[in-house]
Amino acid sequence: MLENLIYGFGVAATFQNLSACFIGALLGTAIGVLPGIGPLATISLLLPLTFGMPSTTAIIMLAGIYYGAQYGGSTTSILMNLPGEVSSVITTLDGYQMAKNGQAGPALAVAAIGSFIAGCVATLVVAIAGPLLTAVALSFGPADYFSLMLLGLIVASVLSEGNVVKSIAMMIAGVGIGLVGTDVQTGQQRFTFDIPELSDGIGFAPMAMGMFGIAEVIRNLEMPEVREALKTRISRLWLTGEEWRRVAAPIARGTTLGTLVGILPGGGAALSSMGAYTLERRVSRNKHLFGKGAIEGVAAPESANNAAAQTSFIPLLTLGIPANAVMALMIGALIIQGIQPGPRMIEAQPDLFWGLIASMWLGNLMLVVINLPLIGMWVRLLKVPYDLMYPAILVFCAIGVYSLNNNNFDVFVTVVFAFLGYLFSKIGCPPAPMLIGFVLGPMMEEHLRRAMLLSRGDPMVFLERPISATLLVLAVIAVAAMAIPSLRKGKEEALHQA
């Protein structure tokens, strides 16, 4: 592994890849600082920009945007009580209170230090676990892959935000949209409604840019723009000895929890930060300070969200399965680059695999430099009116989508999905399960067909293989865990009405 990491640093340390890492970290911090613009929308908007780049350079930059947003989101949470990123919502509880108490500097410092330590540890876990899981995944057959992807879809839907039934419905819709186009085996067109442009299927970039990029712009225009930065002067961007003693254990616990949760389908940074805060509030010796400016309440969630952002790359790089919607975008970016993510990627694309892992360490170091000394610049960035930003975003989207195939139809598809994304947000349907279903649907169909061909049409192959059977049992348990509380609640309501 040491030889591979040295090789990875050689790849990541080239001028082109270092520049991409820095640009990604800088952009990630900026979109984390700006409320209302998350990494999901930004990565979807920037997908066309990566088409002319080498695959390793493109993924390094997109990865930097993702984990950089976890850093930047803490800045507005602490200084303005306004989370720039979903995973930083929990940081507002104690971060803003610390700032009001004149401790904005230590709050920003512990957020950056905790994120840096967690990012480095989680990246080491990726480097160790990646090859091990790849070796295991190489023993998987088509039936095992189908069951694994089915489990991933179910768990992602169960753990997503909002109503579980709506999440599952969106996931199924995403699978259906992913099957639009020409059947590879029979050559027959399906779900194309005699529209020639749909014969190759619905493009990943137009869907992602519309559903997450433009729809996010529309939602932001609805909201009143209230940005009032803290008037207190920021000083002492470091920790005292006593503060170090108080945050050491929370950083360790947050890093551990975030590392584990990030690997799970549907986990991600938001879930890990909330879990870390809840855990810390229970085990801390300073429970009475939580909600009033406890430094532990900043250290734990900020460590957890960055650790989760790094380890969510493990299932992507080893199994080709997205742990969350951002990883689904990463898979889309790889496929557009002509790379099939999965267990053979470590052998077929060692530059990408080890170069990405090495770039995460370099990116985390860059983020400490970007965040702490440039706090003043980020505060000034918050004063830019959104009315001046959104026209440039929309123009960039239109140019980017059109440039994919020089086709007006892609622009129309983007507009349709922008409308759908906005509509779904109004009726409480989370779009993330749809994107994950869209990515995994065609892969599931391919493995399902292979399994049925090898078994000569016998569906028992999914139960006869131990790995597949175990994964299906876990899927049933996940569905039961989702359904039982709803059934109990329904019975209690029925008894109460009677």
List pLDDT tens digits, range 309-318: 888 888 888 8
Q: Which amino acid is at 33?
A: V
Of 253, 260, 239, the residue nearest 111 (C-alpha)? 239
Number of domains in the chain: 1
- The CA radius of gyration of the chain, in Å to the nearest whole number, is 23
According to the model, what pLDDT value does residue 22 have?
Answer: 92
List pLDDT tens digits, range 127-173: 888 888 777 777 788 888 888 888 878 877 776 666 778 888 888 89
According to the model, what pLDDT value does residue 350 have?
Answer: 86
According to the model, what pLDDT value does residue 426 have?
Answer: 87
According to the model, what pLDDT value does residue 386 have?
Answer: 65
Q: Which amino acid is at 182?
A: T
Of 402, 397, 89, 433, the residue nearest 216 (C-alpha)? 397
Q: Tell me the DSSP string of 170-188.
A: HHHHHHHHHT-EE-TTT--
Domain hosting residue 176, numbered range: 2-497
According to the model, what pLDDT value does residue 309 have?
Answer: 83
d(CA 146, CA 140): 10
According to the model, what pLDDT value does residue 494 have?
Answer: 58
According to the model, what pLDDT value does residue 265 have?
Answer: 64
pLDDT at 31 over 60: yes
According to the model, what pLDDT value does residue 252 have?
Answer: 92
How many whole angstroms from its chain centre is CA 5?
Answer: 24
pLDDT at 470 over 70: yes
pLDDT at 383 over 70: no
Task: Kindly state the average pLDDT of the residues 268-285.
Answer: 80
Lowest mean pLDDT among 118-122, 141-145, 327-331, 450-454: 327-331
Could you tell me the pLDDT band of residue 232, with boundaries at 50, 70 and 90? low
Task: Kindly state the average pLDDT of the residues 334-359.
Answer: 84
Helix and strand numbers, DSSP H then E, in the chain: 23, 2
Could you tell me the pLDDT band of residue 268, with boundaries at 50, 70 and 90? low
d(CA 102, CA 18): 37
pLDDT, the chain, mean: 81
Are the beta carbons of 389 and 42 closer than 8 angstroms?
Answer: no
Lowest mean pLDDT among 302-311, 338-347, 416-425, 469-478: 338-347
According to the model, what pLDDT value does residue 15 have?
Answer: 92
Could you tell me the pLDDT band of residue 18, with boundaries at 50, 70 and 90? very high
Residues 6+ apart with CB under 8 A from 64: 20, 21, 22, 23, 24, 25, 27, 28, 359, 363
Length of the chain: 498
